[in-house]
């Protein structure tokens, strides 16, 4: 079910002959493009590649990690709740089970806890969510009027360099893994922040670091980030290649969001299955390390992969980052001098609330989508909003209820229903189905990898 049908029917009756469509906010609209977008989503699968609700619940101030207290049947302070998911017409969500790669862990424990939170959310609302482990599950959920719910790992830190752990995460339901978040792994490099690790940003803490769109860019131990971080691995190490091969064998999607271009190119060279970018936009439109360069976009038709365009303001509109980056550094320095954690939190909250950022429009997001279409082709684009993973959004595209407005913008630009269906979900489902097929073949051809990580000699 992709729209609140009962509400829709009621309002249609109330509106009588005008036959208005309801907007995400429940108001009737005469906008023909928005009406068409809303109608399209009823019969079309809309997949979003990345939503950080599990981390929002982990960090919920009133009751950390409490999926009951963070009641999705009520309006939440975050970007996501059930009413808004329904209004937005969402059919399928990769819930990010993000953990930070900064610090010293414990990574596997945090990873397991995040998977636990996501699975408990899915289980708590069985009338709304359906745990999905396959493309067939996603289509079944759509037929049942439920939101297919998949798990996606963000950064391979939780593996702790174990291929056995990778297989176990797959068994727990994880269907994509980003090779890195903002720090390198031992086997793949991440895209760099504008400032190196352990500078004045570190005192912001994990919560603030991950809110900083421009710092989603550090190497992992196994994939390199963009400059100015020094690359550690120049892409993938031999162990990183083995991780990619085993992900292919499992049929797990490889997510290259947050990876360095060297890691992107290296992975595209060796992966037998399509890759995804679960939440990235176009570097030629906004030149930040987290976006995808054109030379990588040009490789997508051969690979079959999909860039799921993110809405994060500082990745869409580079003018935002120019204001945000120094402002956050300044706020961070002030918070660092606070006498108590409470005072530091107050300084941060007030500083962020007072920030005046250049406006970002829905049209700017559409520009990224159209650039990727123009370079790679309409078969290699998807949607990956990153809701609940960032505080700054384009005007009008600021929570899970707002997807139809983006599609309305594309309709006004002349997009056909056929191309919109590819963008909203069919491209991703094609790439995932291909990954499943590759996995089936590889599992017949070779046994599980027994390769063990060996640290480099220093
Ligand atoms: Zn991210």
pLDDT digits (tens, 9 = 90+) for 418-433: 999 999 999 999 999 9
> What residues are annotated to the active site?
50, 52, 154, 181, 258, 279, 386
User: 24-28, 93-97, 389-393 — which is least confidently predicted?
Assistant: 24-28
181 C-alpha vs ligand 1 centroid, how far in Å? Answer: 7
User: 118-127, 295-304, 319-328 — which is least confidently predicted?
Assistant: 319-328
pLDDT digits (tens, 9 = 90+) for 117-164: 999 999 999 999 999 999 999 999 999 999 999 999 999 999 999 999
- Asked whether 20 and 122 are in contact (CB, 8 A), the reply is no
Query: What is the rounded average pLDDT of the residues 271-293?
Result: 97
279 C-alpha vs ligand 1 centroid, how far in Å? Answer: 7
CA dist 414 and 243 (Å) reads 42
CATH fold for domain 31-317+359-445: TIM Barrel (3.20.20)
- Asked whether 95 and 121 are in contact (CB, 8 A), the reply is yes
Query: pLDDT confidence of 23, banded at 50, 70, 90?
Result: low
More confident position, 11 or 380: 380
User: 4-13, 19-28, 50-59, 311-320 — which is least confidently predicted?
Assistant: 4-13
258 C-alpha vs ligand 1 centroid, how far in Å? Answer: 7
Question: Which residue, chain included where needed, has tokens 């892409």?
Answer: 235
Average pLDDT, the chain: 88
154 C-alpha vs ligand 1 centroid, how far in Å? Answer: 7
Domain ranges for the chain: 31-317+359-445
- Residues in contact with 244: Cβ distance below 8 Å, sequence separation at least 6, in sequence order: 179, 236, 254, 267, 270, 271
Phi/psi of residue 190, nearest 5 degrees: -100, 165
Tokens of 441: 């073949």
By the CB criterion, residues less than 5 angstroms from ion ligand 1 are 216
- Asked whether 267 and 258 are in contact (CB, 8 A), the reply is no
Could you count the other beta carbons within 10 Å of the beta carbon of residue 338? 15
Query: What is the rounded average pLDDT of the residues 162-168?
Result: 98
**Taking 70 as the threshold, does the pLDDT of residue 208 lie above it?**
no
- pTM summary value: 0.87
101 C-alpha vs ligand 1 centroid, how far in Å? Answer: 12
CA triple 313-210-197, angle to 5 deg = 110
């Amino acid at each position: 079910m992709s729209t609140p049908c009962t509400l829709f029917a009621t309002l249609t009756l109330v509106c009588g002959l005008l036959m208005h469509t309801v907007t995400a906010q429940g108001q009737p609209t005469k906008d023909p493009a928005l009406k068409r977008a809303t109608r399209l989503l009823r019969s079309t699968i809309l997949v979003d590649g990345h939503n950080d609700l599990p981390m929002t619940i982990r960090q919920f101030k009133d009751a950390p990690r409490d999926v009951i207290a963070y009641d999705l049947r009520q309006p939440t302070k975050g970007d996501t709740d059930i009413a808004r998911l329904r209004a937005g017409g969402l059919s399928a969500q990769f819930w990010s089970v993000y953990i930070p790669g900064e610090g010293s862990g414990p990574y596997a424990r945090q990873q397991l806890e995040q998977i636990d939170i996501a699975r408990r959310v899915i289980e708590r609302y069985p009338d709304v969510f359906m745990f999905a482990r396959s493309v067939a599950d996603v289509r079944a959920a759509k037929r049942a009027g439920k939101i297919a719910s998949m798990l996606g790992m963000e950064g391979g830190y939780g593996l702790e360099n174990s291929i056995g752990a990778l297989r176990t995460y797959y068994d727990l339901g994880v269907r994509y893994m980003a090779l890195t978040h903002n720090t390198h792994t031992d086997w793949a490099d991440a895209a760099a922040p504008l400032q190196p690790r352990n500078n004045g940003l570190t005192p912001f803490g994990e919560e603030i670091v991950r809110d900083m769109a421009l710092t989603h860019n550090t190497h992992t131990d196994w994939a390199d980030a963009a400059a100015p971080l020094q690359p550690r691995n120049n892409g993938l190490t031999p162990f990183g290649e083995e991780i990619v091969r085993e992900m292919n064998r499992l049929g797990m999607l490889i997510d290259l969001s947050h990876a360095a271009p060297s890691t992107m190119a290296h992975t595209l060279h060796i992966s037998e299955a399509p890759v995804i970018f679960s939440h990235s936009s176009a570097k030629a439109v906004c030149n930040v390390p987290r976006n995808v360069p054109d030379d990588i976009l040009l490789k997508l038709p051969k690979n079959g992969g999909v860039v799921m365009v993110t809405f994060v303001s500082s990745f869409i509109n580079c003018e935002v980052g120019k204001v945000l980056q120094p402002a956050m550094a300044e706020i961070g320095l002030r918070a660092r001098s606070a006498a108590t954690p409470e005072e530091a939190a107050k300084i941060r909250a007030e500083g962020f609330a007072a920030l005046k950022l250049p406006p970002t429009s829905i049209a700017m997001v559409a520009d990224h989508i159209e650039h990727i279409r123009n370079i790679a082709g309409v078969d290699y684009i998807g949607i990956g909003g990153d809701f609940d993973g960032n505080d700054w959004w384009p005007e009008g595209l600021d929570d899970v209820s707002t997807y139809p407005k983006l599609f309305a913008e594309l309709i006004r630009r002349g997009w056909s229903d056929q191309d919109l269906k590819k963008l909203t979900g069919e491209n991703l489902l094609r790439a995932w189905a291909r990954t499943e097929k590759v996995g089936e073949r590889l599992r017949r051809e070779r046994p599980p990898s027994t390769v063990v990580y060996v640290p480099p000699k220093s």
